Amino acid sequence: MDIEPQAIHGTSQATSRPEPRRPRVWSYLLVGLIGAIIGGLLTSAIVPSLIIGQMEGLQLSLPSSTGFWGGESSSSGGIRTTDYTPSEDPWQVVVDAAEKVSPAVVGIVNTKAMYDIFGRQYVRDTSGSGIIITSDGYIVTNNHVISGDSRQLTVFLSDGRTMEAEIVGADPATDLAVIKIDATGLPTAVFGDSDTLKPGQLAIAIGNPLGMEFNRSVTVGVISGLDRVLRIGDGYMRLIQTDAVINPGNSGGPLVNGSAQVIGINSAKLNVEAVEGMGFAIPSNQVKRIVTEIMETGRVRRAFAGLSLMDRTEVKIYKPTVKIDRGIYVYDVVSGGPAAKAGIRAGDIIIEFAGRTINDVGTFVALISEMSPGDSVNIKVLRGGQQLEFTITLVEAPSDTR
């Protein structure tokens, strides 16, 4: 008789079997580590030899003799350098210009009498620069370099000699002066045409900043601007603006172009807080005219038009009923003077002088200062809404207007 198995406590009872064993995690890690070690050993032993074998068949385009600095390789492993020819130096034009002009640049020491607040006299040296313009010793410089109660002018030449100089003549209105030393065979500078200058052209300043200790210092910049009208002394001048560094002692030294031509005489620096790189030079064409007159006559004849003028800002204050939006106002005309003879009247508004637009009195005065007695010049004016043109023949200024 078959007996079915009985359920005991709700479970079925059956024959028990052993469960299979699972591999532990650490065994996998061990196998992986051993494989990595073996692979690394094989790579370090086999791969380098394969790479070297491949490189032997390549021709690399690496320089064999030039190092990282662009020079010859140093066998000692130091910094590598190279020689270069002057044509490879983009600044060689500055070097050439400085070498040509510097021998004609001189230092000038003005020993002059000064007085303290108690009236006691003492002597003080001030220094500047100058340029030799003739081989027999004529030198151009700034008037403010040689002005004052001068007791002695000493010129320092590029060859090391020192000589006393005498004043030939000076023109305070243009801040130019000519002095002379007793010498021959001196190196001279060549002057260029300042009317052809353009902003952005090379400008090289040479002079003696802060005295003879820094003689013939060379600074480089560009022509920053032209026709900058500034008040110099009692007059106005059109000047060349440059960012070449000009320091005290550079006054009277040359401003030179890339062709080693003097294009201006360094004269002033805008010394205002937070302003840099604004130096000014007297244009060479004006220098040539003034210096020639001084050398020939010992003085400069000043041109005279016979006009009294006002800027627009002054017109608004003193002539509020006059409407003026351009030009300058003629408030008086000298009787019998050049302007009166030409037909210009008080109340006219000058808008153009010698082909240049006029909007301030300073520009008009600066242009007049560049002309000579006897010159004829065209002037355009506005009168009653009409534009008129006149030709004035300038005369020599009376001594009390110079």
Specify the CATH number for the domain of residue 205. Answer: 2.40.10.10
Q: Which residues, 6+ apart, have CB-to-CB distance to 42 below 8 Å?
A: none
- Cα angle 210-214-217, degrees, rounded to a multiple of 5: 105
User: Which entry of 175, 217, 243, 369 is annotated as an active-site residue?
Assistant: 175
Give residue 22's pLDDT: 52
Domain boundary pick from 133, 151, 180: 180
Give residue 86's pLDDT: 55
Residue 189, Ramachandran bin (φ over 0: left; ψ between -120 and 50: alpha; else beta): beta
Q: How many domains does the chain have?
A: 3
| 251 flagged as catalytic | yes
Q: Which amino acid does the sequence have at 230?
A: L
d(CA 100, CA 84): 22
Give residue 36's pLDDT: 59
Give residue 120's pLDDT: 83
Q: Which two tokens stand for residue 289?
A: 């005219």
| 144 flagged as catalytic | yes
Specify the CATH number for the domain of residue 384. Answer: 2.30.42.10
288 and 307 co-located in one domain:
no
284 and 201 co-located in one domain:
yes
pTM across the whole model: 0.72
CA 220 to chain centroid: 6
Low-confidence ranges of the chain (pLDDT < 70): 1-88, 233-234, 270-277, 400-402
User: Which entry of 194, 251, 267, 369 is annotated as an active-site residue?
Assistant: 251
Q: Which two tokens stand for residue 330?
A: 């003629």
Domain boundary pick from 297, 332, 363: 297
198 and 166 co-located in one domain:
no
333 and 362 co-located in one domain:
yes
Domain boundary pick from 297, 317, 335: 297
| 175 flagged as catalytic | yes
307 and 396 co-located in one domain:
yes
User: Which entry of 144, 267, 348, 369 is annotated as an active-site residue?
Assistant: 144
Give residue 101's pLDDT: 95
CA 85 to chain centroid: 27
201 and 254 co-located in one domain:
yes
d(CA 99, CA 90): 16
Q: Which amino acid does the sequence have at 271?
A: N
What's the chain's average pLDDT? Answer: 80
Its domain, for residue 314, covers 303-401
309 and 288 co-located in one domain:
no
Give residue 344's pLDDT: 95
124 and 200 co-located in one domain:
no
